[in-house]
Amino acid sequence: MHPRLAGDLAAFPALLESVRRLAVDVLDALDDRPAGRSPAPRPALPLPADGAGLAGALATFTDRWAPGFSGSAGPRYLGFVTGGATPAGLAGDWLTGVFDQNAGPGIGSSAGDLERETLGWLRELFGLPPGYGGTFVSGATMSNMVGLAIGREWLGERLGVDVSQQGAAALGETAVFSGAPHSSIYKALSMLGLGRGALRQLPLLPDREAVDVPALRAALADRAGRPAIVVANAGTVDTVDYDDLRAIAELRREYPFWLHVDAAFGAFAALSPAHAPLLDGLAEADSICVDLHKWLNVPYDSAVQFTRRTDLQLKVFSNAAAYLGPLTERPDFLHHTPENSRRLRALAAWFSLAAYGRDGHRDIVTRNIASAQRVGARLAELPGVRLLAPVRLNVVCLALPGDQAEAARAVAESGEAFVTPTVYAGTPALRLAFCNWRTSEADEDRIVAAVRRALP
């Protein structure tokens, strides 16, 4: 064994203790760490020939890299849709590396059953019936990609072609309808060989990001019986709007289409009694995308996909090889997802759900919604500030007087909060997305103050 490795092995417990100390220091100071930064680019150093051992690497990381990292795990980072990590979620993530299970093949470990148990809990959390199969993937982009891949296979089934054998070209012309799709839908269509151009964006309801259902009906009627894919949205990133999932699902009585629902963070409305009705009809979907590194507050690299057509999913993703063992009644996860070997990313979600249950996670969601509503109302009273949409859930979308990117920079430079710019209905805007389990009323005050100071 290389002497550096041998030394680290001998000192492993003490070294882990020093890593733990750094973690505790970072988390203790999270409240004061600047929420977001724009650090100067750092030149890369050459590959070390002789390494420094874990203690040396930790020292270098602590000095050279850690200070430039954002406080994105903290309570006032409101950029994009960014969750934090609950204590149990973080513990689960650490232990994922400790046990280092390969949750692709099922041979030799109970890790697959832990993933199945966790998927069952999530199904229940979102009010989905047991008929949905699911898997963990790395994020909502991959979840959308997997759902649309199954939809692509379904189009083949309807048209009498086998896409997994013949390729996407065998489908001929393909139509994917959506009102306000997330950018990852275009990316998924590109990856899947359907092409970004397959997406036909439909009219929205006035002053909304929800699709106009009669327009969808007309577009489907135009297909003259040719099957299509419909991507319905449950929680858009700018204004957290929801398509009428029930009305869209009803259209399947008349027209053949695969119904994929992108509920990346919107699915968590299920936990708020006042907002759960937004998801009425979700359980009619053929495939569903839910992100977990957003509102479940587990560390990055976690999302789930659900589908009713596990048979088609296996056609797309099965990965038969003698060394991986036979395809059984209950195929291993490597036959369900783009990956073969994969980390047991269910463990962080398992820990957080085991530790806090439905009620604990409901508390995160309802507190974040209340924060967004209060902050939205307070900011709307500042001179020249306009809310561009009602605060439907956990996102405030507003326009400040002056340049939005400059305002976002001014907020970031204060270190007090981090918000990201967008363009909503042609208007440059800022978004404040509340997604972190730590965010308190004291944080709301600091956020409002930071935005007020950024006004011209």
Instruction: Name the segment binding ligand PLP (CB under 6 A); options: 16-24, 59-67, 138-146, 364-372.
Output: 138-146
Instruction: Name the segment binding ligand PLP (CB under 6 A); options: 124-132, 260-268, 276-284, 378-386.
Output: 260-268
Phi, psi of 146 (to 5 degrees): -65, -45
The residue among 304 and 379 lying less far from ligand PLP, judged by its C-beta, is 304
372 binds ligand PLP (CB under 6 A): no
Residues listed for the chain:
456
> What SS3 state is found at 208?
coil
140 binds ligand PLP (CB under 6 A): yes
264 binds ligand PLP (CB under 6 A): yes
Cβ(418)–Cβ(260) below 8 Å: no
> What SS3 state is found at 17?
helix
139 binds ligand PLP (CB under 6 A): yes
243 binds ligand PLP (CB under 6 A): no
Written as six digits, the tokens of 63 are: 């000095």
The residue among 255 and 265 lying less far from ligand PLP, judged by its C-beta, is 265
292 binds ligand PLP (CB under 6 A): no
The span from the CA of 93 to the CA of 101, in Å, is 12
435 binds ligand PLP (CB under 6 A): no
141 binds ligand PLP (CB under 6 A): yes
The span from the CA of 446 to the CA of 370, in Å, is 16
Cβ(374)–Cβ(215) below 8 Å: no
265 binds ligand PLP (CB under 6 A): yes
The residue among 242 and 333 lying less far from ligand PLP, judged by its C-beta, is 242
Q: Which of residues 89-118 bind ligand PLP (CB under 6 A)?
A: none
339 binds ligand PLP (CB under 6 A): no
Size of the site for ligand PLP (CB under 6 A): 14
238 binds ligand PLP (CB under 6 A): no
E strand segments, 254-402: 257-262, 287-291, 303-307, 386-387, 395-399
182 binds ligand PLP (CB under 6 A): yes
Q: Closest separation between CB of residue 399 and ligand PLP, Å?
A: 21
Long-range contacts of 355-360 (CB under 8 A, 24+ apart): 355/86, 355/87, 355/88, 356/86, 356/88, 358/124, 358/125, 358/271
81 binds ligand PLP (CB under 6 A): yes
Cβ(229)–Cβ(175) below 8 Å: yes
Give the residue, chosen from 303, 375, 396, 412, that forms a contact with ligand PLP under the rule CB under 6 A.
303
CA nearest to 278, candidates 250, 232, 241: 241
Query: What is the residue-wise DSSP string for 339-353?
Result: -SS---THHHHHHHH
Cβ(405)–Cβ(421) below 8 Å: yes
| Gyration radius (Cα) of the chain, Å | 23
316 binds ligand PLP (CB under 6 A): no
Q: Closest separation between CB of residue 184 and ligand PLP, Å?
A: 4
DSSP label of 29: T
DSSP label of 12: H
Instruction: Name the segment binding ligand PLP (CB under 6 A); options: 46-54, 147-155, 259-267, 322-330.
Output: 259-267
275 binds ligand PLP (CB under 6 A): no
Residues at the site binding ligand PLP, with contacts judged by CB under 6 A: 81, 139-141, 144, 182, 184, 235, 237, 262, 264-265, 291, 303
